[in-house]
Amino acid sequence: MTPQKLVQRTFAALFAVLLLLLGSSTAALAHDAVTGTTPANGSTVDAVPAKIEITMSNTPAVIGSQIMVVDSSGTDWSLGGVDVLDTVATQNVRPGAPAGKFTVKWRLVSSDSHPIEGEFTFTATSASTATAGAAVGAGPVVSVQAQPETTPETAPDESAVPWSVIGLGVVLVGLVIALLVVARRRLGKDS
């Protein structure tokens, strides 16, 4: 085999590997998305709810997740940390929240470990009815009413090229350079 054919075959193999790796990484670039919120974005509710729920397309991580329930004066009414059960992230709301417009600012860590964030609003016509020190029951949650379908909330796509793809590109460029140096040396010896 001539050195020129060796270089051509090497480039063809590298190109095939690059196409295989880049083609399979497109699925990994997709982040999880919000499929619904409770209360719904832009809705008006009778009273400030005791908890806010954000439903995702996959189970988000608890670590690094944050949900803030902010009233029109800028006060954050969230109580405790974010709880995650299946695909639902839940944030409790402190008792005594006033009536008015609220902005829910959220940052969740998607199942592929990338943080995604967004916000939605709702308006409460009356203050929170929960009182401090109220007993909280534990056990399964059972719904006796059919849940209406909610319109999916889309998170802004802030995806960039993942570091793994950049690292792979650097490694492949280094490999090509090394192969060119070796091929050039062999061509020099054969002359």
At 112-170, the pLDDT tens digits run: 888 889 999 999 999 887 654 444 444 444 444 444 555 555 555 555 556 777 777 88
* Whole-number average pLDDT of the chain: 79
* Domain ranges for the chain: 31-126
- Nearest Cα to Cα of residue 88 among 141, 24, 23: 141
Q: How far apart are CA 120 and CA 159, in angstroms?
A: 20
Q: How far apart are CA 101 and CA 123, in angstroms?
A: 4
Please check the confidence at residue 82 and state whether its pLDDT lies above 50: yes
Higher-confidence residue: 158 or 36?
A: 36
Q: How far apart are CA 32 and CA 80, in angstroms?
A: 24
- Nearest Cα to Cα of residue 118 among 86, 157, 63: 157
What is the third-level CATH fold of 31-126?
Immunoglobulin-like (2.60.40)
Reported for 59-63, long-range contacts at CB under 8 A and 24+ positions apart, including other chains, are 59/84, 59/86, 59/87, 59/111, 60/32, 60/84, 60/87, 60/89, 60/108, 60/109, 60/110, 60/111, 61/108, 61/109, 61/110, 61/111, 61/113, 63/109
The residues with which 69 forms a beta bridge, in sequence order, are 104
Q: For the chain, what percent of residues have pLDDT higher than 70?
A: 73
Please check the confidence at residue 47 and state whether its pLDDT lies above 70: yes
Please check the confidence at residue 68 and state whether its pLDDT lies above 60: yes
Higher-confidence residue: 183 or 146?
A: 183
